Structures are given as structure tokens and as C-alpha cells.
Homo-oligomer: A and B are copies of this chain.
Amino acid sequence: VAQRIPTATVARLSRYLAVVEGYLSSSISSEDLAVRAGSNSAQVRKDMSHLGAPGTRGVGYDTEKLVALIRRALGLGAERGVVIVGAGNLGRALAGYPGFARRGFRICGLFDISPGLVGIDIAGHRVHHLSELDKVVTNPVAAIGVPEEAAQSVAELLVAVGFRSILNFAPILVEVPPSVEVRQVDMAMELHILSHRLGRAEDELD
């Protein structure tokens, strides 16, 4: 009975997947999974109920089935392609991310416009010129790792050639049609949140 899965659950599924794939036994209890994923058992069970995962009372969840179910819920039928735009430090860091394959992704394109970068190899992938972006075939997710000034035009190009999912690391809000999903990863925002809490701790005077 796989219905709509709450986004909060989807975010946790990602972590569950990593835990379960690295788990040795053939079944795992909600408590065990929770501890390893930094959650709690009630939460895990609720999430599993959204997944429609079949647990065995007194035992736990079958790890193999769980992996398959989570992968399916995460849209990782076979493997999901990732295109990286920008071959500077950020693009390299992304391309060099070791967990791609393990977590269900495959780099299917690395693009830049700088003549000094096009043609070189990074982490085993040739950098192509951005003008060849439309050659990408599967239905991939794109990661934008270019400087702020270029991010909006890169986003527009991505949309123009058919991308519907964009992960933006540039610290600006890119505008895209509503049919395109964008997720923003903003280091400054994360730092601000931490700083806010530090500030509250420093006060101690509520």
C-alpha cells in the first residue's frame, strides 16, 4: 500500500538505506536501526508504515527486502544519473564524493565552460563543455556547483534541455518553472543556524 510518503520520512529513508546496506544480519529491529540512524524506534516504525514495509513482530525487518523497498521509494529503480555542472573546487568535491555508487547514483556528466577545464579528467570523468549538456540521455538529477553569478543561467539552461530536478549549491535562490524541483544547499544558512544556537548558549540569561 505505497501511498504518498511524507518528505520528512523520505529524508530519513536516505539514512536508513545507508545503515541497512551496511548491516550484516538478515533482519534489523526498529530500535537498532534507529540508534544507527540517529532517530528513535517509534519514528522508524512510523516511517516503515509509510513505506509499507513488512516487519516481523518479535524479530524486525528483513534487511534485503528493506533495501529494495527503500530504493524503490527513493526512485532508484536501477541507478540514478547525476550531472555536475561546474568543475571548480566545488564540482571536484562533488565528483570526488565517494559514496555515489553506494548510495544509488552514477555520475553521467561533468560540465564546465572554462577552456582550461574542458577536456581534463576529474575523478575518472572527462569534463565536457556546457554546450553539450543536451547530449545527456537518462533522467538525471543535476547539481549546480558554479559561482553565484552563473547559477541562474545554468539553471535556465538545465531547464531548457529538460532537467526537472536540480540541487543548487550556489548561495542564491534560482528561479525555475514550478514543474522543476530545486533543493538548495546553503552553507551560510547552516552556519547561521549553528551561530544562532551558539548565541543563545552564550547568553545563558534567556
Interface residues of A (CB under 8 A from B): 4-5, 7, 10-11, 13-15, 17-18, 37-38, 72-77, 80, 82, 88-90, 92-94, 96-100, 103-105, 139, 141, 143, 145, 147-148, 164-167, 171, 173, 181, 183, 185-202
Within the assembled complex, what's the spacing in Å between the Cα atoms of A188 and B83? 13
Decide: A191 and B141 in contact? CB cutoff 8 A: yes
Contacts of A198 in B (CB 8 A): 75, 80, 139, 141, 164-165, 181
Q: Specify the chain B residue showing the minimal Cβ separation from A173.
A: B38
17 residue pairs bridging A and B, Cβ less than 8 Å apart: A5-B196, A10-B196, A11-B193, A14-B188, A14-B189, A15-B186, A75-B198, A76-B195, A89-B89, A90-B93, A104-B192, A104-B195, A139-B202, A143-B187, A167-B191, A183-B190, A183-B193
Identify A194's interface contact among B37, B165, B191, B202, CB under 8 A: B165
CB within 8 Å for A199 and B14 given contacts A94-B187, A188-B105: no
Contacts of A165 in B (CB 8 A): 194-195, 197-198
Within the assembled complex, what's the spacing in Å between the Cα atoms of A93 and B99? 19
Contacts of A166 in B (CB 8 A): 194
Chain multiplicity (copies): 2
Decide: B196 and A148 in contact? CB cutoff 8 A: no
Contacts of A148 in B (CB 8 A): 98-99
Within the assembled complex, what's the spacing in Å between the Cα atoms of A139 and B37? 29
Within the assembled complex, what's the spacing in Å between the Cα atoms of A194 and B4? 14
Within the assembled complex, what's the spacing in Å between the Cα atoms of A74 and B93? 28
Within the assembled complex, what's the spacing in Å between the Cα atoms of A77 and B15? 35
Contacts of A88 in B (CB 8 A): 93, 96
Interchain nearest-CB distance for A74 vs B (Å):
5
Identify A80's interface contact among B5, B75, B82, B195, CB under 8 A: B195
Decide: A185 and B188 in contact? CB cutoff 8 A: no
